[in-house]
Structure 1
Amino acid sequence: MKLFLLCITFLGLSFYTMADLSAEQKQKVVGYGRECIAETGVEKELVSKVRQGSFSDDPKLKAFAFCLSKKIGLQNASGDVQADVLKQKLASIVNNADSINNLIFACVQKKATPEETAFHTFVCYYENTPNHVSIF
């Protein structure tokens, strides 16, 4: 159970780092992860695998990504990316404004559904950051 909660914490750290989160914020993120697993019915194993960069093309995992993205504030209920929030979150872990803008340009692309947009953004971010900060 502890391992699962740890995975949820990392999964919920979309564009956050653990060092930058207070205990209260960490609890919120863990709660978001639990809520999104319950709401989407995604298999816990798929969620855990994401942490190691194994992104499954599973509709429930994509729904989980969108759920988490909404709860964190990266997307609104319609699926629109909240660029100002995204820039703020990235600024806490990326020190270069040009790098942030390049990352957003490369990774934030509206897809056919809000779930696809969230999933693509997370995968792209993971693939394009040298430190591979966990984003799910």
Structure 2
Amino acid sequence: MKAFLFVCMVAIAAANSAELSQKQKEAVKKFTAECVKETGVRPELLAQAKKGQFSDDEALKKFTLCFFKKTGILTSDAKLNTDVALAKLPSNVDKTKVAKVLEECKKKTGKTHADTAFEIFKCYYSAAPTHLIF
């Protein structure tokens, strides 16, 4: 249970220790639980993704798509919604830097919507000064 709770949070962390609001934390917990249930992703894969270790696992890809759609970061056709993604960042994050990263990641695509969501997530994780992690 502790492992599940550990992976059921989103930590947006930068060098300046950006913090999510309580409302954001509650939404993340809810969406994470829903997407875990819908996709059957293994909690250990989420824990690995949090550390930047991405497994080429279909359930993880589907989880990423599910989570990003529920948060509005991706549209129903798996297009990155930059405005929504930026709006979800804490106020003390340099949104100009993140916007540049998102513009590059927006170009990532895959064979399926889940593949596209996963490629966008990996791109963002590797290049962003602020990480969004499940």
Structure 2 length-normalised TM? 0.81
* Aligned residue in 2 for 1:84: 83
Q: Which runs of 5+ in 2 are unaligned?
A: none
Counterpart among 102, 106, 109 of residue 108 in structure 1: 106
Which digits, 9 at most, give the CA deviation of each residue in 1:14-43, with x for residues without a partner? Answer: 799862321x33122111111101101111
* Aligned residue in 2 for 1:7: 7
| Structure 1 ranges of 4+ moved more than 6 A | 14-18
Mapped to 2, the partners of 1:67 and 1:3 lie a distance apart of 20
1:36 equivalent in alignment to 2:35: yes
**RMSD (CA atoms):** 2.5
1:121 equivalent in alignment to 2:111: no
* Aligned residue in 2 for 1:20: 20
* 1:39 partner letter: E
* 1:69 partner letter: F
Q: Decide whether aligned partners of structure 1 residues 15 and 69 sit closer, same or farther in structure 2, where only a CA change above 3 A counts.
A: farther
Q: Which runs of 5+ in 1 are unaligned?
A: none
The count of aligned residue pairs is 131
